[in-house]
A and B are shown apart, each in its own frame.
Chain A
Amino acid sequence: MSTEAAGDPFWERVRTLFHEAAPLHGADRRAFLDTACHDPTVRAEVESLLGENDQASDFLDRSVWDLVEGADARWEGAHIGA
């Protein structure tokens, strides 16, 4: 199962750098990327994803099952009211 983790070299590079840079911020992050990444395409990708990750978001926070649960309660409410 772990063999499938070894994928595209470009994305493996992006993945590694993303994980290392994610806990860093501001100048620390820039300094890290200056040293660790010399490919501008890789860097642009990493920075774009980090920017996305830095924003607070509830995107995908609730699973489909949570949604089903909420919807179920609503369905019942609709029928009580009907």
Chain B
Amino acid sequence: MSDVTELLREWNAGQPDARDQLIRIVYESLHAIAARHLGREREGHTLQPTALVHELYVRLTDQRRVAWRDRVHFFAVAAQVMRRILVDHARRKHSEKRGGGAAPLAIEFAVEVCDEKNFDLVALDLALERLAEILPQQARIVELRFYGGLTLEETAEAMGISTATVSREWAMARAWLRRAMSVR
């Protein structure tokens, strides 16, 4: 578990391998946590919007040793992992028509909810990739907020910018993405 702290440090120091390893670890833990939350023995019946990520963070790191900068990176990683999981599930679902053989994960239901609302997760992923090429800061904000579940304030803190800036950039990013997704 403690090697996550080390990996965060290495990623901070610019080692791309560390990022890939982190994503794998976060992905696996996310599956484990989600499965447990969906098990019979759990106490509450809902997942708090950001509780999963926070729980993941506590599980994976020794908080006393992790600097705030690493925490920021952690949430960025968790958001990226969430994005990847969702788009993978959405792609698989579309290609296999009726779901894959994986265990019932809350994430798969999130994909279903999106489908029912005609919200295209794959299209969002592609649009976000294009946004990242022209306005990388806005793309990061969307990633942290939509996939990471961070509030405006948390996003501001994570990125070291003001809440007002996050709010403004978020508004434009939303407009850009909505337009990109409606024009096809």
Interface residues of A (CB under 8 A from B): 1-2, 4-5, 7-8, 11, 15, 18-19, 22, 48-50, 52-53, 57, 59-60, 63-76
Q: Tell whether, in the assembled complex, residue A69 and residue B175 are in contact, meaning their CB atoms are under 8 Å apart.
A: no
Contacts A71-B109, A75-B38 given: A63-B160 contact, CB under 8 Å?
no
Closest chain A CB from B87 CB (angstroms)? 11
Q: Which range contains the number of B residues in contact with the other chain? A: 35 or more
Contacts A64-B146, A65-B53, A69-B48 given: A49-B136 contact, CB under 8 Å?
no
Q: Tell whether, in the assembled complex, residue A68 and residue B178 are in contact, meaning their CB atoms are under 8 Å apart.
A: no
Q: Tell whether, in the assembled complex, residue B47 and residue A69 are in contact, meaning their CB atoms are under 8 Å apart.
A: yes
> How far, in angstroms, from A73 to B110 measured CA to CA in the complex?
11
> How far, in angstroms, from A3 to B135 measured CA to CA in the complex?
12
The answer to the question of B95 belonging to the interface, with a C-beta cut-off of 8 Å to chain A, is no
Q: Tell whether, in the assembled complex, residue A66 and residue B179 are in contact, meaning their CB atoms are under 8 Å apart.
A: no
Contacts A60-B177, A63-B146 given: A68-B109 contact, CB under 8 Å?
yes
Closest chain A CB from B7 CB (angstroms)? 20
Nearest A residue to B178, CB-CB: A59
> How far, in angstroms, from A8 to B5 measured CA to CA in the complex?
35
Residues of A within 8 A of B174 (CB): 53, 57, 59-60
Q: Tell whether, in the assembled complex, residue B146 and residue A68 are in contact, meaning their CB atoms are under 8 Å apart.
A: no
Closest chain A CB from B168 CB (angstroms)? 5
> How far, in angstroms, from A1 to B82 measured CA to CA in the complex?
22
- 6 more contacts with CB within 8 A, not counting A1-B160, A69-B47, are A7-B136, A52-B175, A57-B178, A59-B177, A60-B145, A72-B106
